[in-house]
Structure 1
Amino acid sequence: MGSSKESGRDRALHYLRETVLVDPEVQGTFLNEAELATRIGVSRTPVREALLLLVADGLVEMLPSRGAYVPPMTGRQIRELMELRAVLERHAAAVTLAAGTVPLAAMREALEEQRVLAEAGDDPTLFIELDMRFHQALVDATGNALLAQTYAGLRVRQRRVGVTALFRTADRQRSVCAEHGRIVDALDAGDAAAAAAAIDEHLRLTERVLLQA
């Protein structure tokens, strides 16, 4: 009995994280628990439990008499996310270069798949999945489980801002591919300073797109 309850909550949590919260249209709106329960195929209890976990993560607010609200990310939150990403990714670049563990093959594979999508100009959600795979591969290659876990914990926020950025700017997918290409080239050349600069530039440009009024 307990396991079915747990799986229902986990299903609801997965659906909310992967489908609902990353939709730009959902930002600044209230979620309908009954509708979500029907869509996911569970009762309202696991949906409520999943929402409370998201409240603890700061991704949802429960407002008295009004329900679950998805607050848009503020400019400050976006800047803080990019700052934390820059710290983690620059560190990962330096550590993997020093240890000879840069995951060039995995990063190139993700980048090539992104280039195909950029040419087609569709499927922003898959493009952002590949974007996260590209960056996560570098962080994972540090061999530091806590570091990798911390970076993975940013996943929902990264998907939210990533998809939003693609909707904000025409041709952003091609720009991202070019920026990723510069990161890979610097890592391939063994140039830690150039890699850090390429990471900073990529995140600065992403932040600029997101903070456009």
Structure 2
Amino acid sequence: MQEQSGRERAYVYLRDRVLSEPAFTGTFLNEGELASQIGVSRTPVREALLLLVSEGLIEMVRGRGAYVPPMSGRQIGELMDLRGVLERHAAEKAIDAGNVPIAAMTATLESQEALAAGAAEDHARTFIDLDGTFHQELIDSAGSELLSRTYAGLRARQLRAGLSALFGAPDRKRQVCTEHRAIVDALASGNLAAASAQIDAHLDVTMRILLRG
């Protein structure tokens, strides 16, 4: 039981703290250092790494260990395509059911706007965490547990992509807030076509920044 708990702790730490940081892209991970940082032995760290290998987030290189590969242009495109499919579907379900979480999404957006006045390096992680919350709130409003779990499973990739995009364009935080506001306004109007168009526009801007970088 303790080993399972240690593996879970290691998995969450690696997924949400290490793999999401652009600085680790293209580097090899040290199991011993990670074990010390997390407060577990090397065994649960190794098990967590193997889980992440199975999810395609890291690679094991013979003689070198765990490698964090950069996201390819194809992977970035596939991530944005999948996000678009899931978010447009959630928007349709929420609008049809009259269950669009306008209040929750607006509150999250206002928290982002409060951070947008800072320099790009200030509060970047908090801003991107809020970004994930904003989109997950829309997904969860569809009322599908499988949809919510599927979207949440993209978290590590989204955090890494979001942070990279944040530093890949000047004043990106303010732009994100403007794009999120357009999504909220379209959802509030009940216009699915407009909401879908704003979701696509937001994802397209992010993808172009990432591919340019």
**Same fold by TM (over 0.5)?**
yes
Specify the alignment match of 1:56 in structure 2: 54
Specify the alignment match of 1:184 in structure 2: 184
Does residue 124 of structure 2 align to residue 117 of structure 1?
A: no
Specify the alignment match of 2:205 in structure 1: 205
- SS of the equivalent of 1:206 reads helix
Contact 2:16–2:155 under 8 Å retained in 1: no
Specify the alignment match of 1:4 in structure 2: 2
Superposition TM-score, scaled by structure 2 size = 0.97
Specify the alignment match of 2:144 in structure 1: 144
C-alpha deviations, 1:15-70, integer Å up to 9, x for none? 11111111111001100111111111111101000000000110011111110000
Pairing partner for 1:81 from 79, 82, 91: 79
Structure 2 residues not aligned, in runs of 5+? none
Aligned-residue CA RMSD (Å): 0.8
* d(CA) in 1 for partners of 2:116, 2:134: 15
* d(CA) in 1 for partners of 2:181, 2:207: 18
C-alpha deviations, 1:123-154, integer Å up to 9, x for none? 11111110011110011011111111111111
Structure 1 residues not aligned, in runs of 5+? none
- SS of the equivalent of 1:62 reads strand
C-alpha deviations, 1:158-178, integer Å up to 9, x for none? 001001111111200000000
| Alpha-carbon shift at residue 120 of structure 1 (Å) | 2.4
Counterpart AA for 2:109: L
* d(CA) in 1 for partners of 2:78, 2:208: 13
Pairing partner for 2:41 from 23, 35, 43: 43
Superposition TM-score, scaled by structure 1 size = 0.97
* d(CA) in 2 for partners of 1:44, 1:153: 25
Specify the alignment match of 1:175 in structure 2: 175
Pairing partner for 2:93 from 82, 92, 95: 95
Specify the alignment match of 2:17 in structure 1: 19
Counterpart AA for 1:19: R
* d(CA) in 2 for partners of 1:88, 1:14: 23
| Alpha-carbon shift at residue 94 of structure 1 (Å) | 1.0
Q: Work out the number of aligned pairs and report it.
A: 211
Identical aligned pairs, as a percentage? 60
* d(CA) in 2 for partners of 1:48, 1:196: 41
* d(CA) in 2 for partners of 1:176, 1:10: 32
Counterpart AA for 1:51: L
Specify the alignment match of 2:154 in structure 1: 154
